[in-house]
Structure formats: C-alpha cells, structure tokens
Structure 1
Amino acid sequence: MERNILGATGMEVSPLCFGALPLGPLQKNLPLPEGAALIRKGLEQGINFIDTAESYFTYPYIKEALTGFTGEVIISSKSMATTYEDMEKAVFDGLSALERSYFDIFHLHAARTKRTVFEERGGAFQCLKDLKKKGVIRAIGIATHAIEVVEGAAEEKDIDVVFPLINQAGLGIVGGTKEEMIRAITQAHQKGKGLFAMKALAGGNLIDQVKESYDFVLGIPGISSVAVGMVEERELEINVKLFNHEEVILDPIDQVKAKKRLWIFKDGCIGCGACVDACPNNALMLKDDKAEVDTERCILCGYCSPHCPQFAIRLF
C-alpha cells in the first residue's frame, strides 16, 4: 500500500488507517485473538497506521497484533482527560498496555467541544507538550467533529495533527456544513498540520457509496489517511483493495452484511428522543431514558442516524 506524508510531522502513513473502536468491547466485542488477528492481517497487507483511544479499551488487541511484527506501525491514540495528571496517566497507562516506549500521535479527544478546548483543557494540553519534549509522544493532535475546533487547531502552533470528521453527506459535522469543514481542513493543511479523517462513511449511512465516499475524503487537499473501523476479514479485504485502487464489486451479500444491524452507543445516548421522532418505521423507542431498537420493525434505512446529536447510532 502506498504511503502519504502526514503534514509537517514527516510520518509516512498508509491511506487506510485501521480504526480500532468497532472491534472492541464498546461495539462488536470480538474475542481478543480474533480481533488481534484481524489487525495483524491488515498490517501484513500494507496498513501501517492504527487509530485507538483510551476510552475504546482496544489496547490489548493492538498489543497482541504487534507481537512479533517487525514492520513500522504508526499508532494514534487519544484521551478525554482535562487535567495534567489525568492526561499523563492516560498516556503512560496506554504505553504500558501496549508495551511501547512512545506514542506516535496522542490527541486531545474533543469530539463535540468548542474552540476554547485548548484553554479549558489547558492542563492536559500542557502535559502533551511536555511529553513531546521528552520524546514520549512524537506529535500532538486533536480529534474533533467541530468546525470551529479545526479552525482553532490550525492556528495553534503546538498542534501537529488534526483528526476531523468529514464525509460527502455532511453528516455528524458540528457547527456548519461539509463545505465549511473542508475550508477549515484546508486552513489547517496550509498551516502544515497533518490531517487524517474519520466517519467517511457517516456511521454506515454511506455504505452503498463506499468507493465514492473514500474518494471524496481522500480528494480533500491535506487528508493523508482515512480511519475505517473493520470487524470482519471481508471488510478488510474490500477496503484494502479500494485503497490500493483495485476494482471491487460489492455483491448483495456484502451489502446485507454491512447493514446487518443498527447499533446504539448507550453511553453516548442522552435520551433526547430525536431518533424516535425521525424513525419512519416506529422501530425506535425510549426505555429507561435510552434509545432502544425493535429489530423486527427496523429496516436499516438509516434515517435516524443523522438526527442523533451525539452521533450515538451506527449501522453495522
């Protein structure tokens, strides 16, 4: 697989980044050997970039996948820590779990925050700056869904990498349109920031436009890689081929498997009922102040997902 330069960091990353969230306990919860084997297969097929987070609980999968692997692997992680002490703990706990001496990229995990995040999490940000000076992390990043945070990161000299949400449907973007997010990304690129993207398939809503969706995101100047969550070998096979510019024909079985269920991230659900109101099939309801799905009524149309303010509904 080809390599792209991640902005001024100089890191060479594969255009396909293995997103580790879905295989872990918050989503698919694959057995450790199975999840690790899938990551390892991706590495052996040319992926050299893995994205994870403290809150994903997927470090054990990555550690096992890397055991005995001799190729270079770029690991990106993140934490929602706000204080110096909590961020320091997050970084060193992660390194201990992975049995590594440094992180290539460590982000402020700031999906739905405002531009003031750098001041509000000043202690955590200062910790990352200090750890970079010590060689414990190679680059400081911020992972966000918000346009104004990308704009702020472009002007923040100590931010090396920006990990924004962007997709051709404009779903999940906080604070504006896809065109406005692209302008913010362009601004960050012009400032030399490394950029890789999340949610290219809009949480599964664009599964019937896979190639077009990836091409759209990779066509944005400055985007070096796209993080894609994968939980099955067939998904990995399709994505590797697509990112290697090989022809892929998705048969009906692929489409059915890709849309096999609606998943609700209960920790993210705030019980607002927006998804219930949006569902045309009366397949969603609130139970104990959390959204629930009636799988017999759900036809996986995806109408609910764009209405969730927490981006807590996915199609898998």
Structure 2
Amino acid sequence: MDKIILGNTGIKVSKLCFGALPVGPLQKNLPIEVSGEIIAYALKRGVNFIDTAQAYGTYPHIKAALDKVDFRPVIATKSGAETYESMEKAINEALEGMEIDYIDIFHLHAARADVGVFEERKGALQCLLDYKKKGIIKAVGISTHSVKVVEAAAAREDIDVVFPLINKIGRGILQGTVEEMEKAIELCQKNGKGIYLMKVLGGGTMIDDYDSSMEYVMNLKGQYSIAIGMISNEEIDYNVRYFNGERDLEGIITIRNKKIIRVSQHMCVACGTCIQTCHSGAIDFDESEKAFIDQSKCIQCGYCVAVCPEFCIRVF
C-alpha cells in the first residue's frame, strides 16, 4: 500500500489508517481478542497506522493486535484532558494500556472546541510538548471538526499534525463549509503540518455512496492518510483493495455494516447530557421531552453512548 510522510514529522504512514473507535465499547464493543485479530489482520494487509483515543477504550484491543504482529505500527491517540496533570495521566494510560514506550502522535481531542482551545488547554498542550522533548511523544496534534481550529492550527509552530473532519456533504463540519475546510487543510499542508482525515464516510452514514465519497477525498489537493473505522476482515479487504487502486469491486453491499444510534425513550430522564455532548447538533428533545437523535445529522461517533447516565443510548 502507498505510504506518505505526515508533513514535516518524518512519520511514514499508509494512506489507509485503521480507525479503532468502532471495535470498542462506544460502538460494537467487540471482545478484546476478536478486535485484536481484526486489527492485526489490517496490519498484515499493509495498514501501518492506527488511530485511537483515551475515550474510545480500545487500548487493550490494540495491545492484543500488537502481540500478533512482528512490527510496530504508527499509533495516534488523543485526550480531552485540559490540565497538565490530567494530560500526563492520559499519556501514561496510553503507554501502559498498549504496553508501548512511545506514542507517535498525541492529539488534543477537541472535536467541538473553538479556537480558544489552545488557551483553555494550555496546560495539557504544554504537557504534550514536554513529553515530545523527552522523546516519548514524536508529534503533537489536534483532532477537530472545526474549520476555525484547523485554520488556527496551521499557524501554530507547536502543532505538528492536524486530524480534521471532512466529507463531500460536510456532515459534522463546524464553524464553516466544506469549501472552507478544504482551504484550511490546504493551508495546514502548505505550512508543513501532517494531515490525516476523519469521517470521510460520515461515520458510516454515507456508505451507500462509498465510491464517490472516497473519490472526493482522494482528489483533494495534497498528501494525507484517511482514517476509516473497520470491524471485520471483509471490510479491511475491501478498503485495502480500494486503496490499492482497484475500483471495479463487488461486495460493498455485503460489508455495509450500517450503524444507527438510538435513544431508548422509555429509559430517558431528559437530563440533556447527550445534547450537550453531541458534536453535530444531532440530538434534541422531541414532543414528549425525551432525547431524540436526528439521523441526518448524526456522524455515529458514539460519544453520547458514553456519557448517558441512564445507559439508554445504544448502537444498533
């Protein structure tokens, strides 16, 4: 599989990145050993790049995969920590959870944050920079859905990698349009930032339009990797073949794996926690004052699943 260098970092990654969110407890919640087999299969098929996060709960799954291969892939993770101390704890959690001695890319996990994130999380960012000086982190990044944050990151010398959300219909993009996100990504690349892309299939909601959705991001200017969540060997095979240049493929129907996140309304107590957490403005109260998810806006991130105090939001 073709590989690229992420900006000025010197980190070489496959153009297909394994998105680890779906195998974990926020979505399909596959057994750790099963997940390890699936991730290892992707690594053996030529994928050398894994994206995860503290919030995903998938460090054990990745550890299980590392035990099954004879090389060390590039690993990116992220944390919503705001202070120096909480970020230091997050770094150690990642190192211990995956049993690794360094992390290739560590992001500020800032999906819905605005440009004030760099000041608001100054302590956390400083921690990442200090650990970069120690060689424990190779590159510091930010993961975001916001056009304005991508633009701001482009101008910052302390940010090496940017992980923005983009897809052809703009589902989930904050503080700007698809066209504005394209320009912000181009600016990042011009300034030497490494770029890899998220939600190019809208969290799986655009799978019926797989080919044109992928062609859109593959035709963007510049060099970048694309993170795709995968939960089966069949999905890995299809995506690897596609990224290796095969286009006349049958079988996308058989691996469709559409996810729908729904609220069990008889359990909902209308606390509003999910509404505050949703990055995409996809959740609101319905006529009965129960939480309701607008599937046309949902990007299947699963964050609402994690925060619901009544455990009434589930992936189906």
The answer to whether the superposition gives a TM-score over 0.5 is: yes
SS in structure 1 opposite 2:175?
Answer: coil
In the TM superposition, what is the alpha-carbon distance from 1:218 to its structure 2 partner? Answer: 2.5
SS in structure 1 opposite 2:93?
Answer: helix
Matched to 1:53, the amino acid is: A
SS in structure 1 opposite 2:87?
Answer: helix
Q: Structure 1 stretches of 5 or more lacking a match? A: 278-283, 294-301
Cα distance in 2 between the residues matched to 1:5 and 1:216: 21
- 1:205 touches 1:315 (CA, 8 Å); kept in 2? no
- 1:79 touches 1:90 (CA, 8 Å); kept in 2? yes
- For residue 42 of structure 1, what is the aligned residue in structure 2? 42
- 2:115 touches 2:152 (CA, 8 Å); kept in 1? yes
Q: Structure 2 stretches of 5 or more lacking a match? A: 265-271, 306-312
- Backbone CA RMSD of aligned residues: 2.9
SS in structure 1 opposite 2:224?
Answer: strand
Relative to 1, partners in 2 of residues 1:304 and 1:167: Cα closer, same or farther, differing over 3 Å? Answer: closer
Q: How does 1:7-22 map to 2 (within 5 A)?
A: 7-22=7-22
In the TM superposition, what is the alpha-carbon distance from 1:89 to its structure 2 partner? Answer: 0.6
Q: How many residues align?
A: 297
- For residue 108 of structure 1, what is the aligned residue in structure 2? 108
- For residue 303 of structure 1, what is the aligned residue in structure 2? 296
In the TM superposition, what is the alpha-carbon distance from 1:158 to its structure 2 partner? Answer: 0.7
SS in structure 1 opposite 2:171?
Answer: coil
SS in structure 1 opposite 2:105?
Answer: strand
Cα distance in 1 between the residues matched to 2:263 and 2:18: 20
Relative to 1, partners in 2 of residues 1:314 and 1:196: Cα closer, same or farther, differing over 3 Å? Answer: farther
- For residue 261 of structure 2, what is the aligned residue in structure 1? 263
SS in structure 1 opposite 2:195?
Answer: strand
SS in structure 2 opposite 1:246?
Answer: coil
Deviates more, 1:143-152 or 1:226-235: 226-235
In the TM superposition, what is the alpha-carbon distance from 1:227 to its structure 2 partner? Answer: 0.6
In the TM superposition, what is the alpha-carbon distance from 1:71 to its structure 2 partner? Answer: 2.1
Relative to 1, partners in 2 of residues 1:163 and 1:212: Cα closer, same or farther, differing over 3 Å? Answer: same
TM-score (normalised: structure 2): 0.86
In the TM superposition, what is the alpha-carbon distance from 1:232 to its structure 2 partner? Answer: 1.7
Cα distance in 1 between the residues matched to 2:222 and 2:304: 25
- 2:27 touches 2:315 (CA, 8 Å); kept in 1? no
In the TM superposition, what is the alpha-carbon distance from 1:303 to its structure 2 partner? Answer: 3.0
In the TM superposition, what is the alpha-carbon distance from 1:68 to its structure 2 partner? Answer: 4.3
1:191 aligned to 2:184?
no
Q: How does 1:157-306 map to 2 (within 5 A)?
A: 157-251=157-251, 253-254=253-254, 257-259=256-258, 261-264=259-262, 269-270=274-275, 289-291=290-292, 302-305=295-298
In the TM superposition, what is the alpha-carbon distance from 1:237 to its structure 2 partner? Answer: 1.3
In the TM superposition, what is the alpha-carbon distance from 1:215 to its structure 2 partner? Answer: 2.3
In the TM superposition, what is the alpha-carbon distance from 1:5 to its structure 2 partner? Answer: 1.1
In the TM superposition, what is the alpha-carbon distance from 1:224 to its structure 2 partner? Answer: 1.4
SS in structure 2 opposite 1:4?
Answer: strand
- 2:45 touches 2:240 (CA, 8 Å); kept in 1? yes
- 2:33 touches 2:61 (CA, 8 Å); kept in 1? yes
In the TM superposition, what is the alpha-carbon distance from 1:254 to its structure 2 partner? Answer: 2.2
In the TM superposition, what is the alpha-carbon distance from 1:23 to its structure 2 partner? Answer: 0.5
1:26 aligned to 2:29?
no
SS in structure 2 opposite 1:143?
Answer: strand
Cα distance in 1 between the residues matched to 2:35 and 2:155: 38
SS in structure 2 opposite 1:76?
Answer: strand
Which whole-Å deviations, capped at 9, do the CAs of 1:261-289 have from their partners, x for residues lacking one? 412489973189x7588xxxxxx968884
Cα distance in 2 between the residues matched to 1:99 and 1:196: 25
Matched to 1:39, the amino acid is: I
